[in-house]
C-alpha cells in the first residue's frame, strides 16, 4: 500500500554478530564474497574463488555477502545479494519498499554521503583514464536525497486478471513494478500514485493508456495521458479527475505520431531560476535602457511536455549559481551557450552580460528559448539553430564572433565535434556540463590538447539514490596554443 505524504528515515544497518569476518586474503569461499569497491554503475565489485570478476547488485565496499549469480558471461558474472553476512557502516535501510526490484534507484541502501563520495571518485577516475588530473577534489552540489524529482513517466499495464499496474520498469527488464510509493518524487507527485491507480480502474479502456507523465512545474502540476486510441467517455473521466486534483491535463493521442491536445486550459508550465549573485548590470531592455537588477530576481523559463527539464530544481539552481560564479561574466562579454535548451544558462548569463547566443538543433527549442528571452525582457539573447554534431556548422558558428565565454550542456553522447573546434578557438573560459562523465572526459582530452586546463570541477547530485551524476568542469585557456603536430593529429581524427 502507498504511504502517501510520509518518509522513512534511513537508519544505519546493524552488523551481524553471528558472521565473523574472514581473512582479507581470500576473495571468496563457497558461502560469501568480499566486495572490493563500487563499479561506476553502483554495483559492488568482487572476485570469485577462480578470480573471475563479479558485479553484485545492492552490495557495498567492505562487505562480506552471500550472492546468487543470475547472469554468467565470458569475462564476468552478474549477481545479487542473497544475504549480507557482514554489513558496511555505509549501509542504511532503504526509504522505499520497492527498492531492489524497481529499476529507478540503485543506491538507496547506501548513505547519501557515501553515494556522493562515490560519484566524485567516478568523475576523477573517468578523467584519469584520459590522462587528465584535477588540482583538487570535485566540489559537491547537492540537496535533499528524497522528494526532489519533479518529473516522472509511469508505465501502465492491465494484466490477464484485469489488475492495474502503475509504476516504473524493473531493473534490466520490461516487467512493470506496481508502485504504491516513490519517495524520490516531489510530494505533490507521489501523492497522486494511489488516486491514479484508482482512476485507471474506472476507465472503459485502461489498456489504451500507454503511460502517464507527471510534471510538477512552478505553475502547477500537469498530467499527460498517453492515449493509444481515442476514448471520449474516458477523456471526460480524466477531465473530472483533473478538476478534483487541480491538475492541467494533456491528452497525447495516437500510436505512430501522437499529437498533444489540452483537455483543460493550456497551462503555463514553467520553472524559476533565481539570480543569487551580486547586483547585475549590462542587460538591455527593448527600450534601450540599461537593466540593473538586484540579486534575487526570478527568471521564469517556460517549457512544454517533452522538452528537456532538469528533474531536480534545487540542484539545477546550484548549477546555475556555479556557472555564474565560475564564468564571472562581465557586461558586454559575448557568450555562446551550446545545447541551450529552454535557456537554463542563457537567460542568467544574459542578465549579466547582455549578449548571449543560445544554440539548439531542434527548431522548437530555438523558438522556446526566444520566447523565454522575451518573457524575461532580455533582448540581448539571440536564439540560433545549428547541428552541433557537424564540424562544418560548428566552425562557422565559432567563426562568427570572438567569443569570450562558452557553455556546453550536451546530451549523454557529449560534444566531440564542438570540443575539437573549441580546442583551437582560444576562448578564455569554457564551462562544460555533462550527464555522462565518460564522454565529458573524452571531450576534455580534446580541449586539453588545445591548451586548456581543468581549472575547477564539481559533481552535481542531480539524481540522488541513483548511480547517475551530473558533472560540471571549468576549462581555462593556458595561453599556450596547441602545437602544429597536435593540430594536425586532431584534424586527422
- The answer to the question of whether 310 is labelled as a binding residue is yes
Q: Give the residues across from 83 on adjacent strands.
A: 66
Gap between the Cα atoms of 200 and 447, Å rounded: 52
Around Cβ 179, how many Cβ atoms within 10 Å? 24
Burial of 462 (0-12, 13-18, 19+ CB in 10 A): buried
Respond yes or no: is residue 338 known to be catalytic.
Answer: no
**In this structure, are residues 365 and 343 in contact, taking their beta carbons and an 8 Å threshold?**
no
Question: Residue 244: helix, strand or coil by DSSP?
Answer: helix
- Phi/psi of residue 14, nearest 5 degrees: -90, 140
Which of 332, 365, 361, 366 lies closest to 349 in space, CA to CA? 332
Per annotation, catalytic residue among 435, 441, 458, 471: 435
Handedness of CA 96, 84, 122, 55 (dihedral sign): negative
- The answer to the question of whether 48 is labelled as a binding residue is no
- The answer to the question of whether 182 is labelled as a binding residue is yes
Which of 303, 235, 238 lies closest to 267 in space, CA to CA? 303
- The answer to the question of whether 105 is labelled as a binding residue is yes
Residue 490: HSE in the Cβ half-sphere, 13 Å Cα cutoff: 25
Around Cβ 476, how many Cβ atoms within 10 Å? 16
Which of 191, 96, 149 lies closest to 468 in space, CA to CA? 149
Gap between the Cα atoms of 223 and 137, Å rounded: 41
- The answer to the question of whether 102 is labelled as a binding residue is yes
- The answer to the question of whether 115 is labelled as a binding residue is no
E-only strand ranges, 241-367: 248-253, 259-262, 270-275, 280-284, 290-293, 297-302, 335-338, 356-360
**In this structure, are residues 119 and 469 in contact, taking their beta carbons and an 8 Å threshold?**
yes
**In this structure, are residues 46 and 57 in contact, taking their beta carbons and an 8 Å threshold?**
no
Helix axes 346-353, 313-327, angle to 10 degrees: 40
Cα–Cα distance list, 274 to 34, 35, 318, 323, 357 (Å): 47, 43, 10, 13, 21
Question: Annotated binding site for S-adenosyl-L-methionine: which residue ranges?
Answer: 310, 339, 344, 360, 387, 409
Bind-site residues for [4Fe-4S] cluster: 96, 102, 105, 182
Annotated binding site: 96, 102, 105, 182, 310, 339, 344, 360, 387, 409
Q: Which residues are catalytic?
A: 435
Amino acid at each position: 500500500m502507498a504511504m502517501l505524504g510520509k518518509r522513512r528515515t534511513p537508519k544505519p544497518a546493524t552488523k551481524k554478530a553471528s558472521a565473523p569476518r574472514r581473512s582479507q586474503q581470500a576473495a571468496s569461499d563457497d558461502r560469501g564474497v568480499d566486495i572490493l569497491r563500487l563499479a561506476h554503475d553502483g554495483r559492488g565489485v568482487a572476485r570469485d574463488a577462480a578470480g573471475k570478476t563479479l558485479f553484485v547488485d545492492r552490495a557495498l565496499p567492505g562487505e562480506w555477502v552471500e550472492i546468487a549469480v543470475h547472469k554468467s558471461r565470458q569475462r564476468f558474472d552478474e549477481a545479487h545479494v542473497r544475504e549480507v553476512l557482514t554489513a558496511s557502516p555505509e549501509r542504511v535501510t532503504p526509504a522505499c519498499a520497492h527498492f531492489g526490484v524497481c529499476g529507478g534507484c540503485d543506491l538507496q541502501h547506501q548513505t547519501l554521503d557515501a553515494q556522493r563520495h562515490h560519484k566524485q571518485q567516478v568523475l576523477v577516475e573517468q578523467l584519469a583514464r584520459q590522462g587528465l588530473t584535477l588540482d583538487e577534489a570535485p566540489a559537491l552540489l547537492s540537496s535533499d536525497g528524497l522528494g526532489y524529482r519533479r518529473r516522472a513517466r509511469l508505465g501502465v499495464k492491465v494484466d490477464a486478471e484485469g489488475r492495474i499496474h502503475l509504476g516504473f520498469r524493473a531493473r534490466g527488464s520490461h516487467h512493470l513494478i506496481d508502485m504504491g510509493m516513490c519517495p524520490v518524487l516531489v510530494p505533490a507527485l507521489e501523492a497522486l500514485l494511489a488516486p491514479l491507480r484508482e482512476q485507471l480502474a474506472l476507465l472503459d479502456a485502461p489498456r489504451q493508456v500507454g503511460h502517464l507523465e507527471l510534471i510538477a512545474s512552478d505553475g502547477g502540476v500537469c498530467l499527460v495521458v498517453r492515449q493509444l486510441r481515442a476514448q471520449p467517455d474516458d477523456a471526460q473521466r480524466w477531465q473530472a479527475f483533473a478538476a478534483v486534483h487541480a491538475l492541467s491535463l494533456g491528452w497525447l493521442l495516437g500510436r505512430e505520431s501522437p499529437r498533444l491536445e489540452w483537455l483543460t486550459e493550456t497551462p503555463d508550465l514553467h520553472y524559476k531560476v533565481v539570480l543569487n549573485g551580486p547586483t547585475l548590470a549590462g542587460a538591455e531592455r527593448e527600450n534601450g535602457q540599461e537593466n540593473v537588477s538586484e540579486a534575487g530576481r526570478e527568471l521564469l523559463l517556460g517549457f512544454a511536455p517533452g522538452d528537456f527539464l532538469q528533474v531536480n530544481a534545487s540542484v539545477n539552481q546550484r548549477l546555475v549559481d556555479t556557472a555564474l560564479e565560475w564564468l564571472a561574466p562581465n557586461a558586454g562579454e559575448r557568450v555562446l551557450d551550446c545545447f541551450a535548451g529552454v535557456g537554463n544558462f542563457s537567460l542568467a548569463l544574459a542578465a549579466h552580460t547582455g549578449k548571449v547566443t543560445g544554440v539548439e538543433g531542434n527548431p522548437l527549442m530555438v523558438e522556446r528559448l526566444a520566447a523565454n528571452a522575451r518573457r524575461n525582457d532580455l533582448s540581448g539573447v539571440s536564439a540560433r539553430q545549428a547541428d552541433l554534431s557537424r564540424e562544418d556548422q560548428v566552425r562557422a558558428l565559432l567563426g562568427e564572433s570572438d567569443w569570450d565565454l562558452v557553455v556546453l550542456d550536451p546530451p549523454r553522447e557529449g560534444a566531440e565535434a564542438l570540443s575539437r573546434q573549441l580546442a583551437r578557438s582560444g576562448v578564455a573560459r569554457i564551462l562544460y556540463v555533462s550527464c555522462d562523465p565518460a564522454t565529458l572526459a573524452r571531450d576534455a582530452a580534446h580541449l586539453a590538447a588545445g591548451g586548456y586546463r581543468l581549472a575547477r570541477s564539481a559533481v552535481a547530485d542531480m539524481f540522488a539514490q541513483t548511480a547517475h551524476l551530473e558533472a560540471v568542469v571549468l576549462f581555462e585557456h593556458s595561453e599556450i596554443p596547441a602545437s602544429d603536430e597536435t593540430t594536425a593529429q586532431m584534424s586527422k581524427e
